Amino acid sequence: MARITPDQTAEIAALRAETSQTRRATVPALEEILYDPLPVLDHGFVRVIDYMGDDAAVVQAARVSYGKGTKKVSEDRGLINYLMRHRHTTPFEMCEIKYHVKLPIFVARQWIRHRTANVNEYSARYSILDNEFYIPEPQHLAAQSQANRQGRDEVLTGPEAKHVFDLLRDDAMRAYGHYEEMLNEGETRDESRQGLARELARMNLSLNFYTQWYWKTNLHNLLHFLSLRADAHAQYEIRVYADAMMDTLKRWVPFTHDAFMDYRMGAVNLSAKGLAVVQRMLSGEPVAQENSGLSKREWRELMDSLGRPV
């Protein structure tokens, strides 16, 4: 089944055919992909619907000025780096962006924990969900990690993997078939009986079925979302959405994106004890986990961040 419906395709074509004259800031690189769905997973997508502001708006808010004046681009970049480095967040709140996202329900349940956005989700109380469900690619079908309750271990292969794929697919297809039967829709439709209310029939569907929503947030909260969900430790299925959004961030606010990658995604936060360990090591003192004052996990994380895995 297509990622977007024929109606959505027509809507996108109509929106992209329109042009508007404005005095508001626009970003050509983001305008290039405005409304276009960026594919994610097997049936999902992310697309930018609207945005407000740009890098200059962040700078303007920080300076509380009315125009660009004679400032140099390097000064704007330097100020944004300073704001990011020192976690001055308010100027980043002056920019906003709105996404249309199609995602599996279990990913949406993780995503909704970020409560700093405006969300309007497709309602299965009023509409019938499509027969679209997520099935992982073979390289992402992994066993439960024994060391991390939230992580994955070795990839399943052979008969074991086939059995799991069959269960996932069969369960989803069976659930949707029963969903249609309860609604009295599709091939099982019987004119002589009345279907179950949609708000009740939906509870039979599994968490890998797709939903859709509009998600609007400001730039500061988008960066917080990406710092957690684009991280290598995040679950793959939400991380790929964050990766797609990271690409839109780079198009929209390139100075902010670069500062974010440098001072947030590529940075390391040290505790007071961790900093003390680094200072002792720099002074030439031999330091081990036993005399560091750090737990084994803290020590392992510190050594990993320093490129000295234990």
Q: Which residues are annotated as catalytic?
A: 229
Cβ atoms 128, 199 nearer than 8 A: no
* Nearest partner of 57 among 222, 258, 219, judged by Cα: 219
Q: Residue 215: is it exposed, middle or buried by C-beta count within 10 angstroms (0-12/13-18/19+)?
A: buried
Rounded-to-5 percentages of helix, strand, coil across the chain: 50, 15, 35
Cβ atoms 43, 4 nearer than 8 A: no
Q: Is 216 helix (H, G, I), strand (E, B) or coil?
A: strand
Cβ atoms 218, 92 nearer than 8 A: yes
The set of residues, in sequence order, having a beta carbon less than 8 Å from that of 144 and lying 6+ positions away, is 152, 153
The CA-to-CA distance between both ends of the chain, in Å, stands at 48
What are residue 278's phi and psi, to 5 degrees? -60, -40
Rounded CA-CA distance 63/57 in Å is 10
Using left for φ > 0, alpha for ψ between -120 and 50, and beta otherwise, residue 293 falls in left
